[in-house]
Amino acid sequence: MSARHRSRRRELVESIAQGAVLLSDDGQLLAINTAARELLAIPPGARTRTATDVLTHPALIGAVGDVRDAGEPMTLVIDHAEARLRVNVSMLRDEVLVLIVDRTEEHRVEQLRRDFVVNASHELKTPVTGIQTLAEALSVVVAQDEPERVAELVERLGDEAARLAALVHDLLDLRRLEERGPIEREPVDLAELVRRVVAAQVNRADELAIELSVEAPVEVEFAGVEGDLEVVVRNLVRNAITYNRPGGTVHVALREAQDEEGEPEVEIVVVDTGMGIDPAELPRIFERFYRVDPARSRHTGGTGLGLSIVRHAVENLGGSIEVDSRLDDGTTFTVRLPASAYRSWPSQ
């Protein structure tokens, strides 16, 4: 084989955007591009002379042999080096060309979609079944003329309907936030919004013997999306009340702060004295339908979507959210919104 032929072959492989490996008919490595080395997790300086040196996955080595013997192209999907790869193996004259595409993110998104459908179906099934059962029981009670049970069944029916409505509302909120394109900002008095949303939770806090307080400037003119900001504050405050303990406190603060570069930003901080979260659970609390305490969430009517909705809303506004928590020592959620997202900060 001439040097000119080898040079053209290397140029061909390097010109391919996908990972590409070219092998001789007897399994010798002829060319491999940088993308293929990264996808196949080949360490620098590793031996790369033969097919088995670079194609370390058994299914991939077997596919190369099958294609070489039969002459027919083959496509397979493999998990290799913590990645999901789609591989196409075909003959290029008397040589074997292996093309590799990273489908890890695509697979992750598809898995999330499937999990979401399964979880949503499961969550919807519970209140729907409850409503059906209670409706049947109510009809029997009415038919048997047992008025003393009607009020109880009607109340339970209303609770299940409210639970179903909350879940549907959260599902719609989540879909809207996930699919939204560029947002259109409008002037919002963030201080008034925080006070209004917190005030709406006072009755719930009183029912659970939780002391609720708020700290905010007189006025903060903010350029954002009012509905999204309400969702953020409402979900964080509601969670802080729900997962607290009788006699506990929830403090909500709106503050001026600075990022790591010293640029001003707005902080919304929600601090509770509740049960806290195990550090092992923290990386997953923003996942859809993930519950730290499933039994208590269902008992209190939680949908498992609140923190996922908060994360999407905050990120759409260009901000970030952090959580600091310890078991039996309360939880602090801190939302940070960038300086470009607000107009002015009143003098104190």
pTM greater than 0.85? no
Answer with the residue of higher pLDDT: 81 or 72. Answer: 72
> What would the pLDDT profile of 106-158 be if each residue is shown by its tens digit?
877 677 666 665 666 666 777 777 777 777 777 776 666 677 777 777 777 77
Closest C-alpha among 86, 128, 101 to residue 36 = 101
Q: CB within 8 A of 81, min separation 6: which ones?
A: 39, 40, 41
Domain boundary among 179, 209, 235: 179
List beta partners, residue 252.
Answer: 214, 270
Domain boundary among 157, 179, 201: 179
Dist CA 196 CA 48 (whole Å): 66
Q: Based on the domain organization, do 243 and 271 belong to the same domain?
A: yes
Q: Which amino acid is at 245?
A: R
Q: What is the pLDDT of residue 305?
A: 82
Q: Based on the domain organization, do 153 and 223 belong to the same domain?
A: no
Q: Based on the domain organization, do 259 and 126 belong to the same domain?
A: no
Dist CA 249 CA 241 (whole Å): 8
Half-sphere exposure (Cβ direction) of 83: Cα atoms closer than 13 Å: 15
CATH number at residue 262: 3.30.565.10
Q: Based on the domain organization, do 166 and 201 belong to the same domain?
A: no
Q: Work out how many domains the chain is built from and give that number.
A: 3
Cα distances (Å, whole numbers) of residue 256 to 190, 197, 337: 12, 19, 10
Among the ranges 134-138, 301-305, 330-334, which has the highest mean pLDDT value? Answer: 330-334
Q: Based on the domain organization, do 205 and 339 belong to the same domain?
A: yes
Q: Based on the domain organization, do 92 and 26 belong to the same domain?
A: yes
Q: Based on the domain organization, do 98 and 109 belong to the same domain?
A: no
Dist CA 159 CA 145 (whole Å): 23
> What would the pLDDT profile of 248-290 be if each residue is shown by its tens digit?
999 999 988 877 777 778 999 999 999 898 888 888 888 877 7
Q: What is the pLDDT of residue 229?
A: 93
| Residue 302 in this model has a pLDDT that exceeds 70 | no
Dist CA 22 CA 153 (whole Å): 71
Q: Which domain holds residue 280?
A: 184-348
Q: Based on the domain organization, do 259 and 348 belong to the same domain?
A: yes
Q: Based on the domain organization, do 85 and 196 belong to the same domain?
A: no
CATH number at residue 22: 3.30.450.20
CATH number at residue 166: 1.10.287.130
Q: What is the pLDDT of residue 345?
A: 43
Tokens standing for residue 102 = 């990273």
Q: Based on the domain organization, do 230 and 273 belong to the same domain?
A: yes
